[in-house]
Structure formats: C-alpha cells, structure tokens
C-alpha cells in the first residue's frame, strides 16, 4: 500500500544515518511504503529496525508493509525547538499506535480534521529537500 506523500520545504527533522540495518526502511519510504521489521523466528515486529530481535535475540528479519492506519495515543505542542531539529515552532509531536501494534513518536501535521485522543490518524511519508521521512495526520472517523 502506497502511503500519501506530503512535500515539505524544510530539511528532515533529524540527521539520518542510513546503515545496513536501516537501508531497506529508508528505501521503502522513498517508494511511499512504511516498512516494519519482523523477526523470522518469533514474528515480533519492531521499529525502528534493529540488528537483533528484542524478544528472541535472533538476527534474521523480513519486512512487512504497514497499513498506515493508526490511533492517536498522546499529543504535545513544542513551542521552541532547538535549530538542529529543523522544526517550525510551534510543532505538534504525537505518539501514535499503528494498527500493526507498533507505538511510535512522530510529528503530527495539520489537517482538516482536529486531533482527538484515541481518534484515528494516518501515517504519511514526508518529502524534504534532503530526503524522505514520515509523520502522521488526523483523519475522520470512518
């Protein structure tokens, strides 16, 4: 499933180091896909991608594509951020629960729908002058 791509004029919010472990994830973002690592032995999903499974300590992973559907778990507004994070202030930062069971921290982009705790949101790919990243935005219940 290809996720929506939102073009933003700012550099990515963090400096990204692509490694052998994370290369597949970042390549997936460039294709509009948010990939999760699944342990080939115990099936545990993990994000961010890791070299070793946090449950069974095996080294063999496969990749699955996240649906992009999520629930807003928590939300805060940062009024003044250090310049190294390349965020426009104020910025909304959220913790979301992906449908696949992964909880992650991400930026929450403005949308027509107001954010509601426990409400639905959608993972989106963000395109920046220096590469791809990801964020979420609230969506209408449906």
* Partners of 93 in beta bridges: 76, 107
Residue 132 is predicted with a pLDDT of 93
Bridge partners of 19, per DSSP, are none
Instruction: Please tell me the distance from the alpha carbon of residue 73 to that of residue 77, in angstroms, as a whole number.
Output: 14
pLDDT at residue number 14 = 77
Per-residue confidence (pLDDT) for residue 84, from 0 to 100: 63
pLDDT of residue 85: 62
Quote the pLDDT of residue 53.
Answer: 95
pLDDT at 100: 97
The segments of the chain whose pLDDT lies below 70 read 1, 84-89, 142
pTM for the full model? 0.89
């Amino acid at each position: 499933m290809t996720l929506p791509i939102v073009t933003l004029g700012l550099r990515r919010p963090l400096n990204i180091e692509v490694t052998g472990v994370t290369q597949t994830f970042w390549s997936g973002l460039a294709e509009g896909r948010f990939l999760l690592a699944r342990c080939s032995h115990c099936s545990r999903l993990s994000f961010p991608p890791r070299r070793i499974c946090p449950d069974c300590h095996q080294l063999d992973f496969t990749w699955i594509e996240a649906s992009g559907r999520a629930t807003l778990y928590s939300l805060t507004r940062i009024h003044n951020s250090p310049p190294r994070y390349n965020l426009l202030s104020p910025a909304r930062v959220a913790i979301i629960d992906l449908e696949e069971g992964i909880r992650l921290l991400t930026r929450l982009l403005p949308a027509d729908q107001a954010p509601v705790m426990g409400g639905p949101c959608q993972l989106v790919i963000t395109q920046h002058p220096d590469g791809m990243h990801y964020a979420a935005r609230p969506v209408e219940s449906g």
